[in-house]
Every structure is written in C-alpha cells, then in structure tokens.
Amino acid sequence: MHALSIPSRWSALLLALGLYAPADAQRFGIDESVWSYLAEKYDQNKDGRIEPAEYDRGAEKFAAYDRDGDGVVSEADFAADAAGRGATNRRRAGRELLGQVARRADADRDETVSRAEWSAYVTGLAADAAKGVDLAALLPAPTRPGRAPRGARGPAQDPRVLLEALDADKDGVLHRDELRELFPQLDANRDAKLAGTELGIAPKLPRAGDIAPDFDLPLAKDTTKSVKLSGFREKKPVALIFGSYT
Amino acid sequence: MQFYIVYIREAHALDSRAPMTFGSVEDPIDLKERTLVASKCVKDLDLPMEALVDRLDDAVNLAYGGWPDRLYLVGRDGKIAYAGGKGPFEFRPEELEQAIEREMAVAKAPVDHPANEKKH
C-alpha cells in the first residue's frame, strides 16, 4: 500500500489515534449526570446540598458549579432552565468578547493597542460623555461581507453581553467612562499596552520548519523520570499526540 | 521512530464549561491527579505508547496549541516536520502517517549523501 515499508505497528498505533480522538459530546442529560456524580462524591450528609466545607477542590471551582449563586451547590444549579447558567455563559462569553472589542482600537494594525489608540477609539465612539455608546458598533466586524463572524449565533455576539461585562453602574447604558475602564481591565501585565492574549490573540503555534519548542516532561508511569524532547535530536523523529481522556 | 502522548488539560472535565460524563473526570488540581487520569486513559483505551504529563501551568500545551487535541511530528533535525490542525475535526492521523513516511524517506538517503557525511 505504501511505497516505503512502514512497520505495521505504526499503522496500528495510528489507527489507535483515530479511536483516541474525542467523540462529539453528548449533551443530553449531562447536567443531571454531573449533579448525580457531585452529590455522590461530596454531599457527605446527604441533605441534597453541597456546602463549601464539603467540597475540597477550591473556591473558584465551587463558584463555577454554584450557578444560582446561593452559596451551595444543589440540583437547582443544574436545572434545565437555569437562568444562572445562562448568566454564567454570558459572563464567560463577555470576557472572550472584550479582547476582540479592544482590538478594534488597533488603528495602526500592529496587533497591540496603546493607551493613545484606546483613548482615540473611545472618544470617536462617544464624543459626548453623557451619551451612551452604541453597543453594536463595538462588536467585531464580520470577516467576510455578508457573513457573520464565527460564533455570531451564540452569546459571544450578543451586545447585551458587553453591557453585562462593562456596565459598572448597572443603569443599562454603557457610558464612555465605563468603556474606558476596559483598558486597565485587560492590561494583565500592566505595561500600558494591550497585546497577545490580552486581546484574545492566540500565541503563534509552531509550523513546519520551525524549531520544535523544547520541553522536559515527566513520564506518566514514573514521574521521577522525565523526557527531554531535544534529547532525540539526531537520533529519532518524535510524534507527539496532544490530548486528554475527556 | 518515537511516539509520545502529551497528556494535557481535560477537554471536557465535569467542572469545565463543556462537561462530559464520559470518564467522570474533574479538572485535575495538581500534577499527581493529572498523572492518575493520564495513566487511566492509557490503560482504559489500551494505548500502545508512553504518556508524558504536562504540568499544571499548561506550558507545553500552550506552546504547541495542543488543546483539545493535536498531532505533531518533530524531525530528527529537531524541527517541526508536521503540524496538525486543531482537533477534533482537524485531528488527522493519516496526515501524521504520511509525514512519518516522508521523514523516514529522508533517513534512508544514500550513505554517501553530503547530509550524511560526518564532520571531521
């Protein structure tokens, strides 16, 4: 089948990879199943509520489960109509969208946004400080004429997501001063400019011909031993299969 | 030829934004937990290669864009010989196999090829 003789064990390995790629998620009944799992594992006194003291994997993860924000994790947090879940999803989508919103201020297209660019952009959107900003004008432009950007049908393109993320005084209107605050919010490294992941720009990945980023990682079967990628240079090619169980 | 799984952050942990109950895995909070899940994965799926475990800072995952899954081939020269697309839809083992064939063809270059001469 192949012009070169490839040992059959490689074909078997690669077939295994095909089986290893995650299947499409089955979403129906997921919330029920997640609650059952959590209740079984954490609800020690079986009162139908998981208190913070019963959960030992950190406050952030607990808060992620506690969608209705009542301080406990219960079946109510997994209700199909959970407005809490909708709000959580919108908050997450809002954080993703904010970087894209900030990128619209990149006037010189150098993939960074300086304070000056941001100030000019915000002033241009709303010259009158008292007047609200047009939320639709903040959304990322479509990548092709007539075609909505990826995710347009989801919460990520909903202008209300922006309001929820930026409307500090919760008056239902996004004012210029509130929008200005987006810059310090995104400037995680405090270098007075927005760049890279601060703008939601994914890091450049290695391409064919690039030097492979080196690493030194522990073996799963014995974490006292590690493998350094560069140790294979001039010896063997190395196939890397990135993935996880779920 | 060397194969490694690089075991990274879960794609569908129960406490992720896209939970799946397959495996019922909560997002590991330390290397020991991630190693346990990696070992279970290799055993349950009967995978025939070694797994390396990315640390909790996800450094190698981020450097290679491995999440949720991706294939690479690093050539004998230490350069990327094949960089696969983002899984699941662009996770294509057949492309990796073709890349391996090309890499092995280079390895079988004649002995008197200038590239194979040893430096004195």
| pLDDT higher than threshold 90 for residue A190 | no
- Structure confidence by residue, pLDDT tens digits, A89-120: 555 566 668 888 899 999 999 989 999 999 99
Q: Please judge whether A227 and B65 are an interchain contact, meaning their C-beta atoms are less than 8 angstroms apart.
A: no
| Mean pLDDT, range A171-198, rounded to an integer | 87
Token pair in block for residue A6: 């490839």
Query: What is the average per-residue pLDDT within B29-44?
Result: 94
User: Min CA distance, A147 vs chain B (Å)?
Assistant: 22
CATH number for B54: 3.40.30.10
The SS3 assignment for B55 reads coil
**Binning pLDDT at 50, 70 and 90, where does residue A23 land?**
very low
Q: What torsion, rounded to 10 degrees, do the Cα atoms A68, A73, A76, A82 define?
A: 40
pLDDT tens for B61-93 read 999 999 999 999 999 999 999 999 998 889 999
pLDDT score recorded for residue A21: 47
Q: Which amino acid makes up residue A64?
A: A
Q: In the prediction, which pLDDT does A141 show?
A: 64
Contact call for residues B37 and B11 (beta carbons, < 8 A): no
Surface of B (74-103) touching A: CB under 8 A: 74-83, 87-88, 91, 93-94, 96-97, 100-101, 103
Give the per-residue pLDDT at A14: 65
- What's the Cα-to-Cα distance from A123 to each of A12, A63, A116, A132, A179, rounded to whole Å? 61, 37, 11, 12, 10
Q: Among candidates A32, A62, A60, A68, which has minimal Cα distance to A50?
A: A62
pLDDT digits (tens, 9 = 90+) for A169-184: 889 899 888 899 899 9
**Cross-chain residue pair B83–A206, CB shorter than 8 Å:** yes
**pLDDT range class, residue A153, cuts 50, 70, 90:** very low
**Average pLDDT for residues B94-103, to the nearest whole number?**
96
The confidence band for A160, taking pLDDT boundaries of 50, 70 and 90, is confident
Measured between CA atoms, the residue of chain A closest to residue B97 is A14
Rounded to the nearest angstrom, the minimum Cα separation between A13 and chain B is 7
Distance from C-alpha of A105 to C-alpha of A138, rounded to nearest angstrom: 10
Window 1-40 of B: residues touching A by CB (8 A cutoff) are: 1-15, 17-27, 29, 31-32, 35, 37-40
What's the domain range around B61? 4-109
Q: Which residue of B55, B56, B61, B72 is the best one to mutate when testing the A interface, meaning the one whose CB has the most A CBs within 10 A? A: B72
Task: Please tell me the predicted confidence (pLDDT) of residue B103.
Answer: 94
Average pLDDT score over chain B? 88
**Which of these, A239, A8, A207, A6, lies nearest to B96 by C-alpha position?**
A239
Interface test with A, best of B8, B9, B16, B20 (most A CBs within 10 A): B20
Asked whether residue A22 carries a pLDDT value surpassing 50, the answer given is no
Residues of A in contact with B77 (CB under 8 A): 233-234
Most confident of A124-128, B5-9, B26-30: B5-9
Q: Cβ of B18 and A240 within 8 Å?
A: no
Between the CA of residue A32 and those of A106, A138, A245, B10, B21, what are the distances in Å?
A: 44, 37, 21, 20, 10
3-class SS letters over chain A: CCCCCCCHHHHHHHHHHHHHCCCCCCCCCHHHHHHHHHHHHHCCCCCCEECHHHCCCCHHHHHHHCCCCCCCEEHHHHCCCCHHHHHHHHHHHHHHHHHHHHHCCCCCCCCEEEHHHHHHHHHHHCCCCCCCCCHHHHCCCCCECCECCCCCCCHHHCHHHHHHHHCCCCCCCCCHHHHHCHHHHHCCCCCCEEEHHHHCCCCCCCCCCCECCCCEEEECCCCCCEEEHHHHCCCCCEEEEEECCC
- Please report, as a single letter, which amino acid is at residue A10: W
CB contact under 8 A, B19 and A212: no
CB contact under 8 Å between A242 and B71, yes or no, is yes
Q: What percent of chain A has pLDDT above 70?
A: 73
What's the length of chain B? 120
pLDDT band at B110 (very low <50, low <70, confident <90, very high): low
Please confirm whether the linkage preceding B110 is cis (ω < 30° from 0).
no
Q: Assess contact for A12 and A19: CB atoms under 8 A.
A: no
Model-level ipTM above the cut of 0.85: yes
Residue B94 lies in a domain: yes
Is A238 within 8 Å of A229 (Cβ atoms)?
A: yes
Q: Summarize pLDDT for A121-145 with one digit per residue, the tens.
A: 998 887 677 778 888 888 876 554 4
Is A246's CB within 8 Å of B100's CB?
no
CA distance A74 to A187: 36
